[in-house]
């Protein structure tokens, strides 16, 4: 009789603890050993043989007042489909992630990890660097969780928050994103609190409905939601964000109002302020009218929505400059006068092209520009 080969355990990065134990059990691996492997992977950064973290191709850093912002590129397998099909240079792709330092009110430094859910993006937002690439492919669950693994264990950052605001539209890859959230919040693993995870969307109404169903389940109600609004009305939003042509603002507003009332977290509304496009006082009034259900009122002095005002970071070949400081201050004060709770996002990583709306691998983008005469969906 031949001796039995020892079973090769699966990688823990794509599975919750319960799923890992079940997958290992199918392979004849004892639950105790499987659980130990899972803990070692997530807590000590030691993946079971023969698994290894996805390689980091490059890191770029920039000093900010809060600490070091780090953008890193992870290498993942390429694709035979999409805009890079047949391209011999596309046998590997790069996924971009950013580790952003934050100082808490008490002065403690924590890090937020901005993860990508896709390589490239199909949404075509006009202000966004990633849109220039088109969608190359969606990431797998383990490629999403692998970004956390590299940020935490390969680069050694203490990650307190996770935002799905990197390359891609998370609701275009929602099954994988929700499974990744399940793993990242698993108390046997990365143990990130659900209240520290945020999914950001351009406003895919079908995805918002699925999100609503999920947050009604036990343990999920504190999952964060951010909506990229970026425009005060349909006319401007149609131009900036092609998604709006099929899913206009009134429908988006209704989908958000339909979310179950179990929520205990504010919805975050992202607004990229672009000079000459969406920065006038009348725009602030129209935006406030759209956000009225989430503003403060005499009955609800604490608003249940938060506007995150983001000064535009010019993408390469941008038709628009960054806004003047005075324009950002003025827009912010108009929104506050309207009863909205507004935070201004400080721009970090602009020189490393790691700031919001600037993720996109230059060499892939360049190749795409050669292949196609017009960038997909760019408004």
Q: Which residues sit at the interface with ligand SF4, rule CB under 6 A?
A: 121, 123-125, 128, 130-131, 167-169, 202, 357
295 touches 307 (CB < 8 A)? no
Considering only the C-alpha atoms of the chain, give the largest distance between any 2 of them, rounded to a whole number of Å: 82
Nearer Cβ to ligand SF4, position 130 or 138? 130
State how far the Cα of 319 lies from the Cα of 198, in Å rounded to an integer. Answer: 30
Rounded least distance, CB 266 to ligand SF4, Å: 21
Q: Which is nearer to ligand SF4, 16 or 313 (CB)?
A: 313
In this complex, which beta carbon is closest to ligand SF4, that of residue 4 or of residue 374? Answer: 374
What's the CA gap between 355 and 98, in Å, rounded? 8
Specify the residue, 253 or 313, whose C-beta has the smaller distance to ligand SF4.
313
CA–CA dist 176, 116 (Å, integer) = 12
Residue 166 Cβ vs ligand SF4, minimum distance, rounded to whole Å: 8
Q: Tokens representing 37?
A: 């492997």
Q: Report strand pairing: 159-164 vs 135-138.
A: unpaired
* CB closer to ligand SF4 out of 29 and 202: 202
User: What is the closest distance, in whole angstroms, from the C-beta atom of residue 15 to ligand SF4 in the complex?
Assistant: 27
Query: CA–CA separation, 290 vs 204, rounded Å?
Result: 17
Picking from 308, 309, 315, 306, the residue whose alpha carbon sits closest to that of residue 355 is 315
Q: Strand, coil or helix: what is 304?
A: coil
- The minimum distance between CB 128 and ligand SF4, in angstroms, equals 3
Our CB check for ligand SF4 shows the closer of 34 and 131 to be 131
The distance of closest approach from Cβ of residue 357 to ligand SF4 in the complex, given in angstroms and rounded to an integer, is 6
β-bridge partners, 99: 70, 113
Nearest distance from residue 130's CB to ligand SF4, in Å? 4
Smallest separation, CB 244 to ligand SF4 (Å): 11
* CB 185 within 8 Å of CB 158: no
Beta strands in the chain (DSSP E): 56-64, 67-77, 92-103, 109-114, 118-120, 135-138, 159-164, 197-201, 224-228, 267-273, 305-311, 342-344
Which is nearest to 153 in space by CA: 236, 224, 54, 79?
54
Which 3 state secondary structure label does DSSP give 344? strand
Question: Of 153, 212, 227, 142, nearest to 177 (Cα)?
Answer: 142
| Residues known to be catalytic | 356
3-state secondary structure of 28: coil
| Closer CB to ligand SF4, 202 or 342, in the complex | 202
* Contact of 240 with 277, CB cutoff 8 Å: yes
């Amino acid at each position: 009789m031949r001796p039995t080969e020892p079973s090769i355990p699966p990688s823990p990065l794509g599975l919750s603890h319960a799923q890992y134990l079940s997958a290992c059990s199918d392979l004849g691996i004892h639950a105790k050993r499987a659980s130990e492997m899972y803990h070692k992977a997530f807590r000590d950064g030691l993946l079971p043989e023969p698994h290894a973290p996805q390689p980091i191709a490059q890191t770029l850093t920039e000093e900010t007042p809060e600490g070091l912002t780090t953008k890193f590129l992870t290498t993942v397998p390429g694709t035979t489909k999409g805009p890079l099909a047949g391209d011999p240079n596309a046998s590997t792709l790069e996924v971009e992630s950013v580790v952003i330092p934050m100082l808490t009110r008490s002065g403690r430094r924590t890090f937020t990890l901005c993860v990508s859910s896709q390589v490239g993006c199909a949404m075509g937002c006009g202000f966004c660097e990633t849109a220039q690439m088109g969608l190359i492919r969606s990431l797998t669950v383990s490629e999403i969780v692998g970004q956390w693994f590299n940020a935490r264990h390969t680069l050694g950052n203490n990650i307190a928050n996770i935002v799905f605001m990197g390359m891609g539209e998370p609701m275009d890859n929602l099954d994988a994103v929700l499974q990744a959230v399940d793993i990242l919040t698993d108390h046997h693993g990365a143990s990130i609190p659900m209240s520290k995870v945020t999914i950001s969307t351009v406003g895919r109404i079908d995805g918002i409905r699925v999100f609503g169903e999920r947050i009604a389940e036990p343990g999920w109600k504190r999952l964060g939601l951010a909506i990229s609004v970026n425009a005060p009305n349909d006319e401007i939003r149609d131009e900036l964000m092609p998604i709006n042509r099929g899913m206009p603002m009134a429908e988006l507003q209704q989908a958000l109002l339909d979310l179950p009332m179990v929520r205990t977290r504010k919805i975050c509304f992202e607004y990229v302020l672009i000079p000459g496009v969406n920065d006038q006082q009348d725009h602030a009034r129209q935006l406030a009218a759209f956000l009225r259900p989430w503003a403060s009122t005499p009955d609800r002095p604490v608003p249940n929505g938060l506007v995150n005002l983001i000064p535009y970071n010019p993408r390469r070949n941008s038709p628009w400059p960054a806004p003047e400081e005075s324009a950002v201050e003025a827009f912010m004060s108009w929104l506050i006068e309207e009863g909205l709770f507004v935070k201004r996002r400080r721009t970090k990583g602009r020189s490393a092209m790691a700031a919001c709306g600037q993720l996109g691998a230059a060499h892939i983008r360049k190749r795409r520009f050669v292949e196609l005469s017009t960038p997909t969906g760019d408004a």
